[in-house]
């Protein structure tokens, strides 16, 4: 089968399209014939070596497809059944294995591309809006990168709850997308200081929560956007890692809270995974959660996909099609 591997860490040039054997599912595993793989910023971290992994490494962790085979002890999955997972081992490939405990069934009415586009980013948006800081009607949230994959879904969910959404984006085109997703106000951070603008939009009070996937370039000013005892949910670092900071700043700025959440800790049990995935895929299937997935690349162009996502040239979800 074809797969995208790295034999050493580095830039896009280390990614290679190779021929490797189809993996055999071990005990407790499901072999998935991949219809679409999700492209996520975390793959850049693995490629660069920021997250260590054994080499050679087949990149990718999110995919949807059909069950090709099951390993010993696996029950409840039939060959040919549509499934998706965010726990795939090597999703940038034609086939990959995933722990059965991390595989969910895809509704028959849902396209496999939609399932691949929705699962990781949709569950991320869901835990942020419903668990990390459980939004309620009347809350005000600042969402960075609101036209990105998670940002558009999170904006829709916050709007669905009844929260006021202040979105930051880089271009007028992205501003239009954020407004269409339910943003009440949009800040072009390339033209104005988003912290000053946020304070103005909240009459100096600040927002209840900041959802920040950008990291290094936004972190300090994100703190300045919060009301006393507000929460900064730093769930990504597309601009780089946040440098060390003195926690006394949290006191000075209003007894603030900071958390660095990750999806894995919000789907720790099979029950929680099925619940979150069921809600997200169900909303996509019935049309109440809209996906933006116009960017898809052939498997051989995986490097170009990661270049595009790193340069913030895209909106919504990127997919690789084997």
Contact 121, 49 (CB under 8 A): no
Tokens 């290679």 belong to: 16
Contact 131, 109 (CB under 8 A): no
Q: Which residues pair with 319 in a beta bridge?
A: 38, 296
Enter the DSSP assignment of 294: -
Residue 51: the pLDDT is: 87
Longest distance between any two alpha carbons in the chain, whole Å: 61
Separation CA 48–CA 59 (nearest Å): 11
Task: Please state, in angstroms and as integers, the Cα–Cα distance from residue 240 to each residue in 15, 41, 205, following that order.
Answer: 21, 11, 29
- Using CB atoms within 10 Å of the CB of residue 162, give its burial: 0 to 12 exposed, 13 to 18 middle, 19+ buried: exposed
Omega of the bond leading into 249 within 30 degrees of 0 (cis)? no
Separation CA 152–CA 121 (nearest Å): 10
Interval 43-47 mean pLDDT: 93
Which is nearest to 103 in space by CA: 77, 122, 123, 121?
77
Write down all domains in the chain, each with its CATH number in brackets: 2-119+268-321 (3.90.180.10), 136-260 (3.40.50.720)
pLDDT of 195 strictly over 90: yes
Q: Each residue of 247-306: pLDDT tens digit?
A: 999 999 999 999 999 999 999 999 999 999 999 999 999 999 999 987 899 999 999 999
| Both tokens assigned to 99 | 């722990």
- Using CB atoms within 10 Å of the CB of residue 144, give its burial: 0 to 12 exposed, 13 to 18 middle, 19+ buried: buried
| Both tokens assigned to 93 | 């490939």
Residue 237: the pLDDT is: 84
Average pLDDT, the chain: 95
Total residues found in the chain within this entry: 322
Separation CA 25–CA 53 (nearest Å): 20
Return phi, psi of residue 172, to 5°.
-60, -35
pLDDT of 315 strictly over 80: no
pLDDT of 307 strictly over 90: yes
Enter the DSSP assignment of 316: B
Q: Each residue of 139-176: pLDDT tens digit?
A: 999 999 999 889 999 999 999 999 999 999 999 999 99
Q: Each residue of 107-139: pLDDT tens digit?
A: 999 999 999 999 999 999 999 999 999 999 999
State the Cα angle at 12 between 11 and 13, rounded to 5°.
90
Calculate what percentage of the chain has a pLDDT beyond 70.
100
């Amino acid at each position: 089968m074809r797969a995208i591997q790295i034999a050493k860490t580095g830039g896009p040039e280390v990614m290679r399209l190779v021929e490797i054997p189809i993996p055999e599912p071990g005990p407790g595993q499901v072999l998935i014939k991949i219809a679409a793989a999700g492209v996520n910023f975390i793959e850049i971290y693995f490629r660069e070596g920021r997250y260590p992994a054994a080499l050679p490494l087949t990149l990718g962790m999110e995919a949807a497809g059909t069950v090709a085979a099951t390993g010993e002890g696996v029950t409840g999955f039939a060959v040919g059944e549509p499934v998706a997972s965010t726990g795939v081992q090597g999703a940038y490939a034609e086939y990959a294995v995933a722990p059965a405990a991390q595989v969910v069934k895809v509704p028959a009415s849902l396209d496999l591309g939609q399932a691949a586009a929705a699962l990781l980013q949709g569950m991320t948006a869901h835990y942020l809006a419903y668990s990390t800081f459980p939004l309620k009607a009347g809350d005000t949230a600042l969402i960075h990168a609101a036209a990105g994959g998670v940002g558009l879904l999170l904006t829709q969910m916050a709007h669905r709850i009844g929260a006021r959404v202040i979105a930051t984006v880089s271009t007028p085109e992205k501003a239009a997308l954020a407004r269409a997703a339910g943003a009440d106000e949009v800040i072009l951070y390339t033209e104005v200081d988003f912290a000053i603008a946020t304070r103005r939009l909240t009459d100096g009070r600040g927002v209840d929560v900041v959802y920040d996937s950008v990291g290094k370039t936004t972190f300090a000013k994100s703190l300045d956007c919060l009301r006393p005892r507000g929460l900064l949910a730093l769930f990504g670092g597309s601009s780089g890692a946040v440098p060390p900071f003195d926690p006394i700043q949290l006191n000075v700025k209003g007894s603030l809270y900071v958390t660095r959440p990750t999806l894995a800790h919000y789907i720790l049990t099979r029950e929680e995974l099925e619940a979150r995935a069921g809600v997200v895929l169900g909303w996509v299937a019935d049309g109440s959660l809209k996906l933006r997935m116009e960017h898809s690349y052939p498997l051989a162009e995986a490097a170009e996909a990661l270049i595009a996502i790193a340069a913030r040239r895209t909106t919504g979800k990127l997919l690789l099609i084997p």
